[in-house]
Amino acid sequence: MGETIVEVKQLNKTYPDGTVALKNINIKAYKGEFIVIIGPSGAGKSTFLRSINRLSEPTGGEILFMGKDIVKAGKRDLRKIRRNIGMIFQGFNLVKRLPTVRNVLHGKLGYMSSVKGAFGLFDQKDVEEALDILKRVGLEDQAFKRADELSGGQQQRVAIARAINQTPQLILADEPIASLDPNSSRVVMDYLQKACREEGFTTFVNLHQVDFAKEYADRIIGIKDGEVFFDGTASQLTDETIEALYSKEKTKKQEAVV
Amino acid sequence: MMKNNRHMEKKKVQNTIFTVLAFAFFIFSMLQLDIVPERLMRSFERLTYIFGNMFPPKLNEPIDVFGAAIESIQVAILGTIIGILVSFFLAVFAAKNLTPFKPLSFAIKSFAGFVRAVPALIWALLFIVAVGLGPTPGVLALAINSIGMLVKVYAEALEEIDMGVVEALESAGASKVQVILQGVIPSMLSAFIAWSLFRLDVNIRYSAILGVVGAGGIGWELVKAAQMSRYDEALMVTIVIFLMVMSAEVISEFMKKRANAATAQALK
Amino acid sequence: MKAASIQTDREGHKPPTKDLYSEYRKRKKILFKSQATVFGVITLLALWSLWGTGFNPLSIVTGTYDMFVFMFTDLFPPDFSAIGSLIGPALDTLYMSYVGMVISVLFSLVLGVLAADFLTPHPIIAAISKGITAFLRSVPAVVWAIILVAGIGLGPLTGTIAIGLSGIGILGKAYAEVLNSMDRDQIEGVRATGASWLQVMGQAVWPQFKAGFVSWSLYKLDMNIREAAILGLVGAGGLGYYLQSSISLFQYKTAAMAILMIFALILLVEFVTAKLRERIL
């Protein structure tokens, strides 16, 4: 096991209306791990990912990222932490009117002075890097097209490029292939996995396709009713566990050793 | 089926009642306004006389109609620019998804609603009392009237943007200013341009009549000509106003197309 | 590894990053140029207008301040005792808007039908009809009012005609557009059964036209209240006239009441038309 990148301790999230989304989550992730999170919809997968970079505020617990507690970080520190965490969304979330390359460059905003970034004054080095990354996701021909002229799979690759451009320690991908067809899903997952292998990013991916999870994951975490239900390798994930994970009934948690 | 039929019938009866009431109210209003055939005939005679005196339209020196028209346009331009700048700033705080403080959003929107409900010409009248005659109250009146409308439409355009984009940039560590300039503005730019040009068009229309209450521009020339019974001149001023408004419409339409074409070209 | 294979089969036609970068510069330059032109033109227009009107940018601040002072010292509190004498003018404003609307609806229906591509008896008539509406639309109601005040004198009749005239400009165009956007097949279908012109209008055109007709006409009524309130400023009767005279007599608190009344009338009519729209459609 390499260096610990994220350590989630006793993470809790309760919405103002009393709904409990996350209950005492404890997860440790190491450098370069490709972790897929599965579980029924509404189980709290998305809330968990969004809590890590505080797009959704946790109500209790600690998230240690490279030794710093994200939950307690002030505005300024949060910005610094966030630039080290790339995020990929189900809906791609690109600025549709802007060219692809500009969207990739947005990954650098966290490293720029507020004014320079606001006016999009990117250095030659930044631009060349962005173009290089676009090449790596096979989209150099689309560099100057408007983002919304690209297909869904291509847009998601641009979003991956944007995340890579942050040179992050951690990538969070929230249902990255849920709105894509099977073929583009595979391409996107390949690129995501490749990038993480090459750069040594630790990655959390939420998926609802168990087969994809088994195929790509170094480690699988099952979340049910806001709690960690399973944590182990793909081979440890038996059909019974899967069935229990997705069944409506409350089942006793099945611990697997990492 | 039965129920549907009955519903249709009820609707039909209802519509007939509406029509009858509408007609009755029309007659009643006519009587209240003392619009009776005899009076209409008399007015008609007067109007034929005046229209007869309008042709050919001409200009008597020393009225500088074109100068006045240009002043109107300048008033419109300034009012629009000020209106756009202030409105955009306010709209960022008024848009529910961007405001740092919900009650602030509500306060700005209500303010805009109030300002919008008072017609531009009344604003001009009030500004004249507050700051004196001339183009200045005209500019301010158009600016504030523009704010009433633009804050609303800009805020709506902002509320319609994909919040995912904002989240994506925030999660990349972008600051608030960066999120707005790099993510929000590009997302709403076409709506912003379209509404701003539309408002320029509206303001040019208004600026033509601001002079009527003394707030600068061509309107005053019309009042003068009409009061001095120089109907040929009045027609000439009307024609100039017509051309002004017409060309404003054509130009703003052209610019809207141009703006879309320019961005399309840069991205090709 | 699966992922690596993707990279190799794409490797063949990859342009070097340097070329892509110069492409980026080129595009950035074009974009910058067009943005600079837009901002340049706007700045020039602003400067030209500042010079032409002698508007002092500082007066944005001082003017707003003066306005606040004026509002709080002179306008507030409104003189509520004036309500009694305001009810007459308010009703006049309402009547003017309504009668004006009916006038524009009647004329616009004729002009709209004449201007619609497939209902017009002749393209030239359509063009003439469009020309008339365009002209009426481009001349503000206040201008009509000024000319008519000179012609037939002060009073609500003048305002009514002015509103009616300018309304034709808006409704004539709107009706023609609604008519033009209708589904032609339905009309052809009814026509094919050998129906008369009137039957075609009633059975095929009206059902499709109704929604647009009602909402545009009610929208115009909304607009008319605002216009009617303003027209009074040039002597065409109603609340505006009352407002104008109380301001010229320096009775600002009465004027404030008149403004409040205009405000209330606008909201009231907006509420009623919204309800009507709901009920009818």
Q: Which of A65, A95, A103, A164 to mutate to test the interface with B (most CBs of B within 10 A)?
A: A95
For residue C32, the enclosing domain spans 13-53
pLDDT beyond 90 at C75: no
Domain presence at residue C164: yes
pLDDT, averaged across chain A: 88
Same domain, yes or no: B134 and B211: yes
* Complex-level ipTM beyond the 0.95 threshold: no
Q: Which of B21, B121, B246 to mutate to test the interface with C (most CBs of C within 10 A)?
A: B121
Same domain, yes or no: C39 and C166: no
Can you tell me which residue has the tokens 């519509």?
Answer: B15
State the pLDDT at residue B23. 87
Question: What CATH number is given to the structural domain containing C159?
Answer: 1.10.3720.10
pLDDT beyond 70 at B61: no
Query: Is B172 in contact with A95 (Cβ distance < 8 A)?
Result: no
Question: What CATH number is given to the structural domain containing B151?
Answer: 1.10.3720.10
Same domain, yes or no: B40 and B152: no
State the pLDDT at residue A221. 93
Residues in B closer than 8 angstroms to A118, CB to CB, are 175, 177-178, 180-182
Q: CA-CA distance, B64 to C186, in Å (whole number)? A: 55
For residue B74, the enclosing domain spans 65-266
Same domain, yes or no: B194 and B99: yes
Q: How confident is the model at residue C2 (pLDDT cuts 50, 70, 90)?
A: very low
Q: Which residue of A has its CA nearest to C27?
A: A144
pLDDT in tens, A171-191: 999 999 988 998 999 999 999
As a whole number, mean pLDDT of residues B16-33 equals 84
One DSSP character per residue, B144-213 reads HHHHHHHHHHHHHHHHHS-HHHHHHHHHTT--HHHIIIIIIHHHHHHHHHHHHHHHHHHHHHHHHHHGGG
Chain A closest-CA separation from residue B130 CA (Å): 39
What total of structural domains would you count in chain B? 2
- 3-class DSSP assignment, residue A13: strand
Helix/strand/coil percentages in chain C, nearest 5: 85, 0, 15
pLDDT in tens, C79-108: 778 788 888 888 888 888 999 999 999 999
Chain C closest-CA separation from residue B129 CA (Å): 8
Q: How confident is the model at residue B63 (pLDDT cuts 50, 70, 90)?
A: low
Q: What are A13's strand-pairing partners?
A: A22
A neighbour chains, 3+ CB pairs within 8 Å: B, C
Same domain, yes or no: B33 and B136: no
Same domain, yes or no: B42 and B74: no
Chain B CB within 8 Å of residue C207 CB = no
Same domain, yes or no: C194 and C268: yes
pLDDT beyond 80 at A168: yes
Q: How far is CA A55 from the centre of its chain?
A: 12
Residues in C closer than 8 angstroms to B141, CB to CB, are none
pLDDT beyond 50 at B162: yes
Q: How confident is the model at residue A1 (pLDDT cuts 50, 70, 90)?
A: low
pLDDT beyond 70 at B123: yes
Do residues B73 and B244 touch, judged by C-beta distance below 8 A? yes
pLDDT in tens, C17-35: 778 888 888 888 888 888 8
Same domain, yes or no: C49 and C99: no
Domains of chain A by start residue, with CATH: 4-246 (3.40.50.300)
Query: Is A187 in contact with C14 (Cβ distance < 8 A)?
Result: no
State the pLDDT at residue B76. 94
Structure tokens at C187: 């009309």
Distance in angstroms between the alpha carbons of the first and the last residue of chain B: 56
Q: Which residue of B has its CA nearest to C47?
A: B78
B-proximal residues of C, 172-201, CB under 8 Å: none
Same domain, yes or no: B101 and B226: yes
Same domain, yes or no: B194 and B105: yes
Same domain, yes or no: C21 and C132: no
Structure tokens at C169: 């400009």
pLDDT beyond 80 at B52: no
Nearest CA-CA partner of B115 in B90, B81, B73, B149: B149
Q: How confident is the model at residue A158 (pLDDT cuts 50, 70, 90)?
A: very high
Same domain, yes or no: B39 and B73: no
Domain presence at residue C2: no
Domain presence at residue B57: no
Average the pLDDT over each of A48-57, B141-150, B218-227, C124-133 and give the range with the smallest value: B218-227
Same domain, yes or no: C88 and C212: yes
